[in-house]
Amino acid sequence: MRDTIPRDKKRDLTSGSIAKTMLLFALPTLGSSVLQSLNGSINAIWVGRFLGEEALAATTNGNILMFILISFVFGFGMASTILIGQAIGQKDTVMVKRTLGTALGSIVPISMILAATGWLLGPLLLEILGTPSSAFDLALTYLRMIFIAMPITLTFTLLMMALRGTGDSTTPLWFIALSVAIDLILTPLLIMGIGPFPEWGIFGSAFATATANTVALVGMITTLYLRGSVLALNRSDLRFLRPNRDILKSMFSKGLPMGLQMIVISSAALTMLSLINREGVQTTAAYSATQQLWTYVQMPAMALSAAASAMVAQNIGANQWDRVSGITRWGLIFNIVLTGSLIGLMTIFDKPVLSLFLGDDSTALPIATHIQLMATWGFLFFGIAQVLFGAMRANGYVIWPLIVMIISMYPVRLGFAFGFYSKLGSDALWLSFPAGMMATAIMGAGLYLHGAWRKGKVLPPKEAAQITEGYRAHGGCNACCRDYEPTTAWERSEESTPVAHRS
């Protein structure tokens, strides 16, 4: 008989109304994304207004490197979320703790190595990015502070994703809100040295973000223990911080392709930007303003994708495959409603919204409204693909979605932009975005309907059972096994049987 999961803030995603459950999960996730994006935009305003263009360029270069690193952790965290979600569906507390312990026991040492390496190689990394010389010293200061804070940032990200795997998307929202509030208050104080605070300039901006994340992380961990959360590792659970080889292998084999998807998207975006830059500074400015809109248009799709992934993972764990199709269907419906509504609003109010970034009299404003009209509708198909990918990755199906993303970003999007430029001019660039998104949705639908994703295994059930039963035999009670340190033989061998309880 499996352990009973503690009554914390987790949400059971395996019963009740699918539509209601999905909305209650997706809306806090959407709120988290909005808060983080607004925080980034406001911090950019502080830096740009008070420290100048060189400082703003410095933060941009540092954030590019941060995004690349977060991309890999995103994949690793999503793999952990899938494992945790399936274990929650099976009501297997031990597997949840084992998975989180393996994730933390791996990512924390790796992030420390990254922090030290990044500090030493910071100048080389900025040279590779081609950072302007006028912004180089500022960028190096900012980048080194980012690397110092790397263990905190990545652990915070991992724990938020693990919470969502348990069905709790509300707790991450509250602690992101706390982090954003602290960051927004500290950033101007430390940039300008207001009152008793030191005037640290760009270092103050990075330090404020690191401090905010640290406070939020401590608060989140404290909350997990106070609630008796399934994710709280007690004294007898600390052995789980020694990574399990099978779980770690599963995390990397499934997580790396998911992280690479974000890298593929970023690299294609950089290539497109180089093409757009050829159209002149006005067009580049117009495109940059339109991208601000796109940041928010794609948020419902990402939130629904996360909801679909967590819900499908728990229902697979509970062997309730009959709900999986319903989860995907409702995800697609909500995408059409939410993303479609945003696209409609952007189309109606595009000029006043874009003028916030460009100004009412900007010569780039008509270009921006044209770009928005030509390309933004494609995000409806982007949302369809993300919901389908979210459902499929819940069972560890990640290689083919990565291949689909590569095809859509390069042969389709960039091929369209290059191939039709002679006939359509700059419109070929804008239409290449919906062309790539439509291709992703069509191929994603083919994978969902005909792919082998339903047959996948994140961790073989027999191995999962051995991990659980082995723990109960050796470490599952505090009365007689508190000081026992298990070997990994029973974790690796499919033929091993648990050793009897010691007296």
Sign of CA dihedral 73, 74, 75, 81: positive
pLDDT in tens, 376-393: 999 999 999 999 999 999
Q: Judging by beta carbons within 10 Å of its beta carbon (0-12, 13-18, 19+), is residue 279 exposed, middle or buried?
A: middle
Mean pLDDT to the nearest integer, 271-298: 81
Q: Is residue 287 within 8 Å of 276, Cβ to Cβ?
A: yes
Position with higher pLDDT, 435 vs 277: 435
Q: How many CB atoms lie within 10 A of CB 444?
A: 25
pLDDT in tens, 5-57: 444 555 678 888 999 999 999 999 999 988 988 887 777 777 766 776 567 66
How many whole angstroms separate alpha carbon 157 and alpha carbon 311? 20
pLDDT recorded at residue 360: 80
Q: Is residue 187 within 8 Å of 46, Cβ to Cβ?
A: yes
Note every long-range contact of 449-452, with CB atoms under 8 Å and residues 24 or more positions apart, other chains counting: 451/392, 451/397, 451/400, 452/397
pLDDT in tens, 416-466: 999 999 999 999 999 999 999 999 999 999 999 998 998 865 554 444 445
How many whole angstroms separate alpha carbon 62 and alpha carbon 73? 17
Q: How confident is the model at residue 62 (pLDDT cuts 50, 70, 90)?
A: low
Q: How confident is the model at residue 373 (pLDDT cuts 50, 70, 90)?
A: very high
Per the confidence metrics, is the pTM higher than 0.75?
A: yes
Q: Is residue 96 within 8 Å of 84, Cβ to Cβ?
A: yes
Q: Judging by beta carbons within 10 Å of its beta carbon (0-12, 13-18, 19+), is residue 295 exposed, middle or buried?
A: middle
How many whole angstroms separate alpha carbon 39 and alpha carbon 46? 11
Averaged pLDDT of the chain? 83
pLDDT in tens, 98-148: 999 999 999 889 889 888 988 898 888 778 766 667 778 888 888 888 889
pLDDT recorded at residue 6: 44
Rounded to 5 degrees, φ, ψ at 358 are: -110, -25
Position with higher pLDDT, 337 vs 272: 337
